[in-house]
Structures are given as C-alpha cells and as structure tokens.
A and B are shown apart, each in its own frame.
Chain A
C-alpha cells in the first residue's frame, strides 16, 4: 500500500462547502439510518464529497462532512485515512488505479507500469498538464482480463503497452474511448478460441424456464414405487449423530516407557534398545569432544535455531570483533545492517 498522507497546506483549498447536490445526497443517506445514527452515513458522504472536490478529499471537506454528521472531526479523519479509496492528495482529471497484483503482473502489468512512469511520471503525482495521476492498487477483481487499470469509475482491460498509450492519448485529447476490454472481446469470454457458450439458443430466450421444466419432470419420476419404498425404509425417529465439531479429540498419551511400565510390560523393548545402540543406524552426530563450529550456548527460550548436526547450515553469525577495534575496521558490522535488505531511503515516501 502506498504511503498516504494529507496534502500539504499549499494545496489545501481555503474553504469547502457541500454543494446543494451533495447536501441532498447526504440527507438521503442520513435518512437511511435511525435517528441519532447519522454517523453511519460517513462513508457515503465522504465519497460524495470526494466527487465534489474533484477526486480527492481536502481537509476542509473532511471537516464539512464532520459538521454535517455532527461527528468529531477526528472520527471522520479516522475513516478517511483508513480507506484507500479516499484520496487525500489531489489527483489528475483521469485518476488511474493500476493493478499490480499477481495475475496482472503475470500478464504484463510491468509494461503498463513503464508506460505510466514514462507518460505520467511518479506514482501519486499529478502530471504537469493536470490530466493524469496514477496509483498502484491491489487486485481490482478483473483478473481474467489482465492486465487492467481503473480510470476514474471505469475499467480498461486487456491492455498492452500500445493500446494503453493510445488510450491515454485519447483521454488526454478528450476523444471518446472504449471502456472495458481494449481488444474487442466480449466481457471475459475466452481469449482466443471461443468454444463454449456458442449455442444460439442461449441468447434467443428459448432457454428461459428450461431448468424449471426439468425439475418438474424429475419430481414426477420420484413418485414411482421405488422411491416410495426407499422413503418408507427411513426410521421415524432419527438419532442425531453426536456433535463432534469443535471438540478437541482426546487421544491416549503417546506410547511411552512410563505407560508401558504401568501396563506391566517391559518399559523398553530390547530390540529397540539394540537398534538404538547400533552406531550405523543412529542419527549422524558429532561427539562433544570433537572440534567443530558449534554455536554459542543459548537460552532455552531462544527462538534462534541451534543446529547440531554436522553439515547442516550454521547461521553465519558475524564474529564479535576484538575489543578496541574501531567499528570501521571491524570485519563484520554488528549494527544490525547486515541483516537488512538493501533499502534505498526514500525520504519523500513516493514509492509504494
């Protein structure tokens, strides 16, 4: 999830008044809830206010919604900051939500991303002409038409770098564009060879009621003698099975020497004992006296694994430098950075 923050002060409008249309919408939404529960309408109102403000929520809009719903501003703020659908910074005229989740990624979302980066620029930034801004979002649920983006309220699917470029050109120029699939397929029907759902009767209305008819016919068949006999064999009072769902299954304690001794058996089977003593079958291990890279003794409560078997991976823990070594000359750094992935610090939190 992209790092979200409030728009800087210079981008915030001085005032925000709910338009009559928004007010009317708000009253309609509030009326859906019992009196005193007007706060339930907060998401609907924030959505509408966002629409009115041009796709994002200025601070004043949040305050206006709070005043309308008689809520503390911080409560509305909590909602507005929780849901990523509320944009807290200005967006372009065409706000592109680009899906970067696995199916789209596998189908070439990387190319789309490159187009966006070259055409629009950085994520979360409005392009200089004010037309576009984009944001990578999680799955928008149109995986069968991957890759795809959502621009304002519409989905644009089956994108390639070329047709996406063209789409952006058209949008920028204000030309009409085609919504949905950009390669001309009908919704999410098969991509290449269309083999199913081709029966014309599916589309001419003649199938309407066909299933119902089939059920009726089957019901008639059930009235024959065979079924009646089967029904008669069912006992009148059915004893419900003991409900077991959710109860822990009690199993006897594992077969242990102590258990065996209690039962009067030999606690340890001589055969087992002999097998265990055979060095060739025993788990290969080094005796304590042998030299070896054994990790330092650790607390029994430690989570760090303490491998003992020879040949198994021993975590390459950095060696403690000798006392007095300047940190820069120490062989290994012990400041924790050795375990961190290489991270480039992004001071402006621009990337996702």
Chain B
C-alpha cells in the first residue's frame, strides 16, 4: 500500500493503482474517454489530466502509477491535485481539441443523453469554436448488422479496438492510417465476427458506434429501467431491461463481477425484436386439425375434458429451457396432485439428475473462480457458443498467465489457444486411466478445473461419461478443501432450477424423449421447442412464441416471456437470480404461474396459492435456497463426485458434439428475432468463408 494525497485527502491505496484509481478512491471524479477498467491502458485521450506536485506538466492520470510518484522533499506522500485551475485549463484544452473535429449533430445522434463527450463538454467545453477550418470527414464503415457507425463522431479512444482484441479475442477492428487521417475499421470492412461485438457500442464514449437494430428508436430518458437477468444461456448475465410503455426497447448489461462483469452476448442484447414478433397473444384450440383462437375458458375446458379421462400413467409434462422456477414449481405441484410421475425438464436428453447431490450438476467452481484455476480441461463443450461469458472468463484467465488448457470435443476456435486432446470419449477414458500426457499437467496443478458440457452428457452413455469425468476429477484432486474444480456447464437457463426442484422422472416415470415419442396420451408442454413430439398425444403447449412447440400443440396457452414476469432463475453456478417484469405480456397472455393456478382449479386440484408471494412463500419453505437471491449455496462437491465416480458404466465411441448448432437461434425468442436471423446468416457465411 502507498499513501497519496489527492486534493488534500490522504488515501492509502495499493502501489500498483494508477492516479485515476487513487483519485477515485479519494472521492475525486476524473473525466476520461479512453480509459476503461477492464481494458488495457491506452492513455491517448488526455482527458484525465491531473497535476502532480513536482511534475512540470499535467500528467495523464490513467497511465501514471501511484508508485511512479516522487515523495516530497521530506518524505511526505506525493500530492495530486485534480481540481486546480491548471487542471481545469488543461482539460478544457483537451476538450477543445476533441471538439474541433466532432460534428455538432447531437440532436440526431443516438448517443444523445448517454454520451460521455456530451456530459463532459458540459463541464469542460465552451460554447464557441475557434476552429475555422474544415472539419475532418470520415466515411462510415460497415461493421455488420449490430453496430452502426458514424465515423465523423469518432474521437479515437480505441476502446472498441482494445475490446475486440483483448476481451472478445476476435481482433477484427483496428485503427488504420495515422494522425488526423486515423480511421477505425475492420479489415476491408468485413462484418465483425465476435458474438460479443455489440459491447463495443456500449464502450464507445461518443456516438461513433451505436446499436444498429435500435437506431433512432428511442431516447434514453424516455425509458423505464428494470434490473433483470438474462435467460438466453445458463450464465444468467445481469441485464437491465429498458422499456417504453408496453414495449421493451433495449437490453443493456449490468455490472456483476461474479457473472458477466459488464459484458453481455449479442443474443442477450439484440433479442429485443424477438420479444415482440411471433407472439402467442390468445389461447388456441385445435379443431379438425386447425388451430383456432379460443377463450381461456374454452381452452381450459378442452384440457380438463382430456385429462380427466386419462390414466395418470399416460399423462406427462416436459419443461423447456426458459421456464422460471415459480412455474416449474407450480407445474410440479399440479402434476403431483394429479398423480403424474412422468415429468422431465431435460428436453436435450441430458442425464444429470439431483439424485447424486446438488454438487453433481452445478458449475461448482463458479464463474469468477475460473480466474483462480491453474489448469483447465474442457470436456464435450464449446463454451464460446454455449456460454460465451464463461469463455470470456477462461480467456481472461489465459491472458493473466498461461495455464494449460485442453479440450476434448469439437475442435472449435475458442479465441485462445488450447491443447486439442481428441474428439470423443476414447480420449477421455485414456486421460482418466492416466495414459495421456495431459494428466500430468492436471495432477501438477494446484487448482485444476474440469468443465463438462452438455455435449458430453446429452447422450445415452452420458452418465458413464459423467462418471469418468468425476473419476478424473477425483484422481487429479480437483475437489478438495477450498477448491471444487468439478464443473458442469449448462446451456439452458431453467435447467439448474429444474434440477433443484427435482423435475426429473419419478419412480417408473418416463423421460422427455420417451414422452415425446408418444408414450403418453396427454403431454403438458411448458415451453419446449427443441424436441419433436410424435403425433398421437394430446399436447398442451404453454409458451410465448409460435415456434415448433406451438405448431404441434392441440391447446395453446399464451404465456409471458422473462421480461414480462417476475421469475427466479438459477444459473449454471447455482446462483439464484430474479428476473423482474419490465413490460406486460401481449393480448390475453398471462404469467405462467397464474395460468397453471387457473388450470389447476378447472382440473379440480386447486394449487394452494393465490398470489406470487404466496407461491414464493411455499417455495421457500420447501426449498430454502431459492430465498437466497444473488448468492450461490455451495454444494457438497466431494460427496457428489464420489457418488458420480462410483456409477461406472461403459462409454461409447461417438465423438462429443456441442448441443448448440447455431449460437443465434437457440430458443424460440431468438428464432422470432429478425436481427438474430441476420446474424445467423452472416455467421454461416463467415464460417463458409473460413472453411474455404
């Protein structure tokens, strides 16, 4: 720690802090454009100038370390002044230079109202210009369907360049030419290839990069902000949903150091138009092979007529990837009261069950824990498309120092180099039995991390694969006091919550695949769209979009998406998070738990709650860990790994295949989104080009 005096306030900060960080610690605000906490220091905007006692000129505080300051003549701590007239004058000078070439188009600029330059010009700018020459003009660049450019506004902070090279790991952007002619562009103006590219528009301190899909749609001050959580993957990124009236206008990342830092994927952000399109806004009933709009009463009556005459053994329920804990709990209670044991939340055929303890299906290491791992093995997963922000963490770990990273599964570009061990279970068993050289690196590591993805578990021999991975984890000492390196990576937002609730087939119960193949007569489908249901069964679809599930349904109950209801989601780490309502469901669509409550009444098994609060009270009594919002209840990893390792079984020869075929089209909301369709088409094109 080092002492430093900032504006007369003495603070004690780590010596590696920059003056900017020290000033913030002392409560002084420093304007900045190029500096960003999570990017490397560029020091090129010069807006953060401060005066250091002893230095002949103002210094850029973002690039000057506390340890670089000289103490006073008698050993006093170094003194920094952030508010002196010199500093003000220096910053005004910088601001004047920045504004020389900046167009005066704030009234038509999407950044207006959320613009760093606008805000700081209020503090350091002047109302007139001394610059009578022509302003610089730069042609706009094409950067793909998500980022709109207006390059006249660019102030060359290079945040976007640093983000794409450092965090996203897809170095597409660069600063060409130099001096006044400098231009930010991608190589030959190709579309950006990263699945995190839209973050550069958030990073842009001016309006040079803005979000293309939402261009000219709103002004930031018109929007109502709701903190929520993302459900596009099992990472559960913290988001803020901005809505205007009934409509969600945009989704922004929220800072959550434990999960997403401050990034979100393009899917999380640009799903917005999918929330509006293809929506189911009234109940439907199938008559003579055609779906026709119906009233809630009609729909419920149709269901009740079918369910009442059916043997509970021939009734089943499957739960999709976007369901919140509340409705899954309501469905579970309803099915229990009907005496149904055919219930499953694993539409992809995953073998994970709560039988072996909570530690057997969680990402036990936690996402921020990845930064502590010193050897990483990924089995049957492509984290870049299954959980992009987990991949960002692994990349962050790789950037800090080179840990050995290896992968068994699809040989994909993960944005960091890794040792490719093999494609399938054979390599895994070779590794587990110690015949592979990488085992030495895992054994030598103090905190090895083994990530097993759904590509390895959603297969008939999944349990045996999981058991082998658990044996490996046990052998290399991945689970010990203070470290649990056995981590399961999910890709469905509802999955961990469902497993916590025990939504797996009960005794003699059928699993999702069997139910879909026609082993039941009545199938209750809670938002399952990734599975083909064989003809024959009477299917009740409760969901939000006219997707595959709705097409096969006999009765459609329109429900609310994650932005239209208050719901609990548990992410892959087991972190319980709340999504809040930002808008209302369209038409006659209702919140899921309320639909189930109403249906239970018609079926004659009224669920014991009349409000969401009553439901939650009951839920929290039965499963207390759901009450601990924002936290991870650590699971007993050792027992879980032991239990899994003892299963044994023989594993097949099929190579592991990632369950995510197309990153942009993984769920019904994404498939309804035009922006996602465009991204998907573009990504396919890029893939073809790369393959050439």
Contacts and interface: CB of A to CB of B under 8 A. Distances in A.
A74 B134 contact: no
B276 interface: no
Interface in A29-85: 59, 72-75, 77-78, 81-82
Interface string A278-302: 0000000000000000000011011
Interface stretch (B50-58, B322-330, B490-498): B50-58
A78 B130 contact: no
A66 to B, nearest CB: 9
Contact of B126 (A73, A301, A340): A301
Given A74-B174, A301-B126, 17 more contacts: A72-B172, A74-B186, A75-B174, A77-B176, A78-B174, A81-B176, A246-B56, A247-B53, A247-B54, A299-B126, A301-B127, A302-B127, A303-B130, A304-B130, A336-B132, A340-B133, A341-B133
B661 interface: no
Nearest to B186: A74
Q: Which interface residue of A73, A299, A339 has the most chain B CB atoms within 10 A?
A: A73
B127 A78 contact: no
A303 B173 contact: no
Interface string B175-219: 111110100001110000000000000000000000000000000
A235 interface: no
A78 B176 contact: yes
A222 interface: no
Nearest to B73: A242
Nearest to A299: B127
Which has the most chain B C-beta neighbours within 10 Å: A1, A81, A341? A81
Contacts of B186: 74
Nearest to B176: A81
Contacts of A246: 54-56
Nearest to B72: A247
B173 A74 contact: yes
B288 interface: no
16 contacts: A4-B181, A59-B188, A72-B171, A72-B172, A77-B174, A78-B176, A81-B178, A247-B53, A247-B54, A299-B127, A299-B128, A303-B126, A303-B130, A336-B132, A340-B134, A341-B133
A339 B132 contact: yes
A74 B127 contact: no
A78 B175 CA distance: 6
Interface in A222-268: 242-243, 246-248
Nearest to B174: A74
Nearest to B127: A299
Contacts of A193: none
Contacts of B187: 72-74, 77
B66 to A, nearest CB: 18
A302 B125 CA distance: 10
Contacts of A341: 133
A196 to B, nearest CB: 41
B401 to A, nearest CB: 13
Interface of B: 53-56, 73, 96, 126-130, 132-134, 165, 171-179, 181, 186-188
A11 interface: no
The 8 closest A-B pairs by CB, nearest first: A74-B174, A72-B171, A339-B132, A74-B187, A81-B176, A78-B174, A82-B178, A303-B130
A7 to B, nearest CB: 13
B71 to A, nearest CB: 12
A301 B88 CA distance: 13
A343 B171 CA distance: 39
Contact of A303 (B53, B54, B128): B128
Contacts of A323: none
B141 to A, nearest CB: 12
A313 interface: no
Contacts of A77: 174, 176, 187
Contacts of A247: 53-54, 73
A3 interface: yes
B53 A74 contact: no
B177 A82 contact: yes
A302 B178 CA distance: 31
Contacts of B73: 242-243, 247
Contact of B177 (A59, A73, A81): A81
A242 to B, nearest CB: 7
A272 B548 CA distance: 95
A339 B134 CA distance: 9
B128 A304 contact: yes
Interface string A292-335: 00000011011110000000000000000000000000000000
Contacts of A301: 126-127
Nearest to B92: A301
Nearest to A247: B54
B385 to A, nearest CB: 21
Nearest to A84: B178
Contacts of A82: 176-178
A74 B172 contact: yes
Contacts of A299: 126-128
Nearest to B134: A340
B613 to A, nearest CB: 53
Residue picked from A3, A77, A302, most chain B C-beta under 10 Å: A77
A60 to B, nearest CB: 12
A302 B127 CA distance: 6
Interface string A1-43: 1011000000000000000000000000000000000000000
A120 to B, nearest CB: 25
